Amino acid sequence: MSNAREKKRAKKMRNQPASVTLSSDCGPCHSGIQHHNGGSRSFQTPKQDLHPDSSQEYQQQRHQHQSPGPSYRKEQYFSKGQNRGERGRGRGGWRGGRQNVSQEMPKYITASTFAQARAAEINAMLKAVTQKSSNSLVFQTLPRHMRRRAMSHNIKRLPRRLREIARKEAEKAVHQKKEHSKNKCRKARRRHVNLVVEFNRRQKKNIWLETHIWHAKRFHMVKKWGYCLGDRPTTKSYRACYRAMTKHCLLQDLSYYCCLELNGKEEELLKVLARMCSIDTGPTFAAVPCLSGRLQGSLVLYRADRYPEDVLGPITFIWKPKDGSGITYETRQLWIWTHPSLKQGILTELKAVFQCSEPVETCSPEPIVTLLQEEKQTDVAMSVSKKRKREDHEGEKAVPVKKIIGDGTRVPLQSYCWTSQTTGVVISDLTMEILRYRLIGPLSHCVLTEALKTASVQTEMADAETELNKWWVENCKNSEKVSLHQRQEAIFELLQGISSPSEIAAGTILGLTVGDPRVNLPKKRSKAMPNPEKYQDNEKVRQLLLEGVPVECAHSFIWDQTICKNVTENKIPEQDLNHMRGELLVPGSQLDLGARESKIPILLVQQPGKVAGEDRPGWGSGWDIYLPKGWGVAFWIPFVYRGARVGGLQEGLKHSEYKRTPHVPNDFPDCPAGIQFAKELENILLGKFKRRPPAKRANYVKLGTLAPFLCPWGQLTKDWEVRNKTQEESVVTSSADSKSCATESQVPCDLKPGLMIEDSQGDMMEEMTKIQNLCKEAGAATSSGFFVLRSRKLLKQLSAWCRPTCGKGQRVRPASKLGQKEMTEDALLPIFKCYPRVLVWVSLSLLRKGSPELHAMICIPTQEDYLQLNKDQLFCGPQEPKHSDIFKHKILKLKERKKNNGKALESGASDALEAKAVEEPKELILGLWPDPLPDVTSHCSRILLGFVTQGDFSLAAGCGEALGFVNLTGLLHMLSSQPADKKGLVLLRTPASLQYRFARLNIEV
């Protein structure tokens, strides 16, 4: 029977009694079935074909067996386990519904038991009648022709028989009705006071930057490191952002970076901080230009006395300039800026080395007052500005709702300051207390000079009742501070005569006090351009470029938290400024606040941009601006109106890639934050891989890619260590026949014959002594972990060895002429012994076409590849032979076994099968290698050297560029076996491709 016919039959038979069931035959009934009154007996004649048009018999039988009461429950027409579509499909034709009932009547009954059972049935029936099974109200159950408007709140419009029930429903609804928000409509929700309440609630979980609303309207937002950050613009702006970094200005909000302040004696601070860094990696906290407060410093922190292992992460630091009192044991302030993913580890280590145990209650920031707390504070003064007030439910005085400024996730009773009882050093967490913006590009100083104007000298208070600019008036009474402010103003104006921020010394600091930037806001957006005629051939500009900013001009009032708090609390609201603009006689003219204009202390720090390498020096340089909290949007909008293009996290990543510097935390594999980032990235890529069907995704087993979603740095360094030990053993045991150990296709496995260890015992003892001394000085132990090489001396040596010493159109440039050692056995042996598991940061540039990708493999070319490249200069690179998938058959077998086990368990198999199903191996994924991985170095036809962490087509270089890490041992083996004109030549292969491509490897220091 078709589906339509079944539905028609079901509609016709919906009023049949419960004691019969429709058979699967097409006919409406069977004439041979007899029904007795009790339904206790039924018999069935052989099936007969009945035509559906025999309606007379059907009607007679329907009236004959019609139940006496009205049947209005659909469930009674279906047996248990049947739905409406399955009715009438039984095999037994018409059957009685009471076949299990005994045919004989009972001889006697117990009156009490019988009455109790019947009473329970009557109670259940009454309960079912009085309680509705549906959620609909009385007026909703009426037919449509009986419904009237306003029945829901006017009971008299209902029929009289239903009015009492409706009255009870109304009374019950009054008590059970949930309290709905009064601000339900959009107009009410969009009111300022309600928006502030909602935004404050949403900031309790993830920290919002002060420019969050601006970003949320124009950017794709992501939640990272406890913040809501703008990832990338919603518009197509990839090339536009690169042009802004190269020719104009790119603006970024870096307020999510964390600031840790250290207060204490200079001697104590330097003594303890020296344990967490090494002079081998570059300038430390004790560098003279940085210690004076003139320049910003940067370094990599380690756990105390653990260099070069146990990395904490990179940081930048600023010392507060000395006040010039000449005191030897002067209390100094130090700001340490770090990435939020590194903050917890660095803060924990600082508290441990300084022995900070007791919190300082006086330094804890003000607790954020919630809405409920504000409603209880009835004695709070009314706000001066005309803001909307929110009344509490009790009708008490209305209290204005405060907007969260700073970190909204901080616990009010928790302290964010720690002190040391032994050294007296105080560590304070100033996260989100100081805002930080970054301007990148050659015209970033033009945007600064046009958007900001230095504050005017003020000696009298505008209003004696308020605290507005009180600190500024007190400082202006000091002639020395006024003179310093004028010198800072003169240097700030000279920035317009500089063509690029890279011309100034790297990390230059300039303190400044500026007026309210909202006053100078232009009518419409325009691009800030330099004015070369104004400062052409100016001696002052030349003197600034040669001598830099004086130490005195690095002073800023932003170091004083009391002043910052005053500036934040006494900011003129935007509403009042707009009201003042509306009262101007000439609409659109500049607003002059006079003495009421706010004075804001800021700090300008020069960012050097690209400092390593020979190409594009100074690219990506700019300025960082440090502000007190609460003034974020007030400075952000003027920068945007001066033509600065805004970028997000992705633009920051590209900025690091074009500078060829490691990005935090992506490119720090030996750091806890870098390890965590790699795990999260692997889970994301693996989940994306699993969501695609097997036929629509790459089979990495056949492509010879062991780890497409993760860089196995630990296994790479371990395999190269084992390879090097095997090499040394073979060199010691063999003498003249050591050449036969290496084939022409795998020459990089062994050192050159000219680099063998000499047999002289005196030379051997002398060399071993040097090795032991070097290892002792460097503190490098052959531990199970790996670390990244950051020794500048050794990196410069490796950089010189990676350059081709001769070639077509090149001069012979031996390493000795570059001030470095020659690549000999004496130079290589100490490195092999002291750094067995070390990674080296390298940059790669493709020789021809190709675009490297994330997790691409860096491999060593063979001699055949060099010969092929010499024959054909257009040779892109060799190709990896296709591998066989050895796991495909196992995966199919596992699927069949699981299928069989499932059937066995369903059919009630023995416990042995259940135990066997539990003991199944880890699930294999088609196209991926399972753990543990085989030897990663020799899995493919080309020996693996390292992996790529950043890679793309570079708009700056016009070719594919990549950044990554290679193993130090493998790099030295490769360089020692390469021809002079092929030094630093490697092969790149993306995870989803079999094609190798030639690339030039460089180490920039």
Q: Which pLDDT band, with edges at 50, 70 and 90, does 827 fall under?
A: confident
- Tell me, what's the pLDDT at 15? 58
Residue with more model confidence, 914 or 162: 162
For 766-779, write each residue's pLDDT tens digit: 444 443 444 444 44
- Tell me, what's the pLDDT at 9? 75
Mean pLDDT score, 350-354: 91
The amino acid at residue 234 is T
564: nearest Cα among 434, 681, 436: 434
Residue with more model confidence, 171 or 845: 845
984: nearest Cα among 806, 744, 825, 826: 806
Q: Which pLDDT band, with edges at 50, 70 and 90, does 1 fall under?
A: low
**Whole-structure pTM value:** 0.74
Nearest-10 Cα torsion for 239, 245, 248, 254: 120
Distances (CA, A) of 775 to 475, 768, 781, 824, 831: 55, 11, 7, 19, 9
For 38-73, write each residue's pLDDT tens digit: 444 443 433 444 444 444 444 444 444 444 444 444
Q: Which pLDDT band, with edges at 50, 70 and 90, does 387 fall under?
A: very low
What is the pairing mode between strands 207-208 and 227-233? parallel
Helix axes 649-659, 238-247, angle to 10 degrees: 50
Classify each residue of 93-119 as buried b or exposed e, where b means 16 or more C-beta atoms within 10 Å of its C-beta.
bbbbeeeeeeeeeeeeeeeeeeeeeee
- Strands of 227-233's sheet in order across: 207-208, 227-233, 219-224
Q: Which pLDDT band, with edges at 50, 70 and 90, does 360 fall under?
A: low
Mean pLDDT score, 290-298: 92
Sign of the CA dihedral 498, 504, 507, 510? negative
Residue with more model confidence, 422 or 781: 422
Residues 859 and 852: beta-carbon distance below 8 Å: no
d(C-alpha 132, C-alpha 473), whole Å: 77
Check whether 553 has a pLDDT greater than 70. Answer: yes
- Is the bond into 830 cis (omega within 30 degrees of 0)? no
What is the pairing mode between strands 207-208 and 42-43? unpaired
Minimum mean pLDDT among 70-84, 143-157, 346-360: which range? 70-84
Residues 630 and 516: beta-carbon distance below 8 Å: no
Q: What percent of the chain has pLDDT over 70?
A: 74
What is the pairing mode between strands 787-788 and 838-846? parallel
Mean pLDDT score, 176-202: 76
Helix axes 632-641, 444-451, angle to 10 degrees: 120
Gyration radius of the chain's alpha carbons: 41
Tokens 């003169």 identify what position? 490
Residue with more model confidence, 897 or 257: 257
For 706-743, write each residue's pLDDT tens digit: 999 999 999 999 999 988 888 777 766 664 454 444 44
Q: Could you tell me the two tokens for 70?
A: 């009205």
Minimum mean pLDDT among 128-132, 158-162, 640-644: which range? 128-132
Minimum mean pLDDT among 215-229, 391-405, 473-487: which range? 391-405
Check whether 467 has a pLDDT greater than 90. Answer: no
Residue with more model confidence, 401 or 585: 585
Check whether 330 has a pLDDT greater than 90. Answer: no
Q: Which pLDDT band, with edges at 50, 70 and 90, does 808 fall under?
A: low
Check whether 472 has a pLDDT greater than 60. Answer: yes
d(C-alpha 584, C-alpha 997), whole Å: 67
- Tell me, what's the pLDDT at 88? 42
Mean pLDDT score, 806-834: 68
List, in sequence order, every residue forming a beta bridge with 603; answer none if it has no partner: 511, 626
- Tell me, what's the pLDDT at 299? 93
d(C-alpha 458, C-alpha 475), whole Å: 9
Task: Find which of 372-386, 550-564, 804-818, 904-918 is predicted with most confidence, using mean pLDDT.
Answer: 550-564
Minimum mean pLDDT among 126-130, 287-291, 750-754, 837-841: which range? 750-754
For 733-752, write each residue's pLDDT tens digit: 664 454 444 444 443 433 33
Q: Which pLDDT band, with edges at 50, 70 and 90, does 824 fall under?
A: confident
Mean pLDDT score, 825-851: 88
**3-class DSSP state for residue 841?**
strand
- Tell me, what's the pLDDT at 275? 92
For 266-279, write each residue's pLDDT tens digit: 899 999 999 999 99
- Tell me, what's the pLDDT at 543? 85
Mean pLDDT of the chain: 78
Give Cα 269 distance to the centre of its chain: 33
